[in-house]
Amino acid sequence: MGDAVVSARMRKNFENIHAHYDLSDEFFGLFQDPSRIYSCAYFEPAELSLEQAQYAKVDLHLDRLAPEPGMTVLDIGCGWGATLKRAVERHDVNVVGLTLSRNQHAASTALLDAVDTDRSRRVLLTGWEDFDEPVDRILSIEAFEHFGFERYDEFFAKCYDILPAGGRMTIQTSISYHPEEFRARGIPLSIDVLKFIKFMITEIFPGARLPSTQMLWTHAERAGFTVDEVVSLREHYVKTLTLWGDALEANRDAAVAIQSQTVYDRYMKYLRGCAQKFADEYIDVLLVTYAKD
């Protein structure tokens, strides 16, 4: 019975990820920069290009992890592989990537196979639930939104168990607030906002849920982690989403040809709408650093 439950759960996770991330690499390429990094960039300094800002974000994580040569770095939700490649090239480490997307698995494997290094590079088509190998550092960039509230304790316990004493982990995730928090901050929670949230979790990221800031503390500390640092990247996501929207809009004809007018309209609604919600402070995005003392 236990195996059947886990199998059914993972099947649903795979389906949710495929629904978005396996839409079409060609379609995503119309608005991504050459790195293919699909998460909030870090525009510091402000004049960085989107590609430069994406690598600046990756470096923000890697600098906080401070991996030493020969260590093993795990990327949970590794996307198209650019973060893993950066870790190998900048820090001379072994890397393991986890993804539930077949397209991302193929692309990231090919990207890492081309790196000139003797270090181990692996990308596994599996979730964190089925990964039990010891690693030295963990990072997860905007995959946490897909894990589900009911699995946070399990996730943090797993990460704590596979890290050594002195191990470090970074998580970057969008977060939202309880209705009472919106009221306390004087931000109206209108019907239009609620409709947009429903649109996002049904038509763009099926099954996704945004944690609260408190959840990122409580569940991690329950597992034994110490929260070392929390950085908000909200303004950087406004710029990232705006640039993605501008790029997709500039490639409208190609987008419609690759997918359809319906898909193009859906993604423009998502990119423009999210940029506005971050700007209006309905949502934030945090980079949290954890330590296993």
**pLDDT computed for residue 8 by the predictor:** 55
Q: Which residues does the annotation place in the binding site for S-adenosyl-L-methionine? A: 38-39, 73-81, 99-104, 128-129
Lowest-confidence range among 8-17, 77-86, 125-134, 259-268? 8-17
Mean pLDDT of the region 231-259: 98
Q: Which residues does the annotation place in the binding site? A: 38-39, 73-81, 99-104, 128-129
> How far apart, in whole angstroms, are the C-alpha atoms of residue 190 and residue 198?
13
In the predicted structure, residue 224 carries a pLDDT above the cut 80:
yes
> How far apart, in whole angstroms, are the C-alpha atoms of residue 269 and residue 76?
28
Q: Which of 101, 97, 98 is nearest to 16 (CA)?
A: 101
Q: Is 274 an annotated catalytic residue?
A: yes
Domain ranges of the chain: 2-291
CATH superfamily for domain 2-291: Vaccinia Virus protein VP39 (3.40.50.150)
User: Six-digit token pair at 129?
Assistant: 């639930």
Mean pLDDT of the chain: 92
**pLDDT computed for residue 290 by the predictor:** 99
pLDDT tens, 91-107? 999 999 999 999 999 99
Q: Which of 274, 283, 286, 287 is catalytic?
A: 274
Question: Could you tell me how far CA 220 lies from the centroid of its own chain?
Answer: 18
**pLDDT computed for residue 10 by the predictor:** 62
pLDDT tens, 212-222? 999 999 999 99
In the predicted structure, residue 23 carries a pLDDT above the cut 70:
no
- CA quadruple 43, 279, 174, 215: dihedral positive or negative? positive
Say which residues have a Cβ less than 8 Å from residue 76's Cβ, sequence separation at least 6: 98, 128, 138, 139, 140, 143
**pLDDT computed for residue 185 by the predictor:** 83
Say if residues 67 and 137 touch (Cβ distance below 8 Å). yes
Percentage above 90 pLDDT, the chain: 80
Binned at pLDDT 50, 70 and 90, residue 20 comes out as: low
pLDDT tens, 48-89? 999 999 999 999 999 999 999 999 999 999 999 999 999 999
If you search the block for the tokens 């070392």, which residue do you land on?
Answer: 228
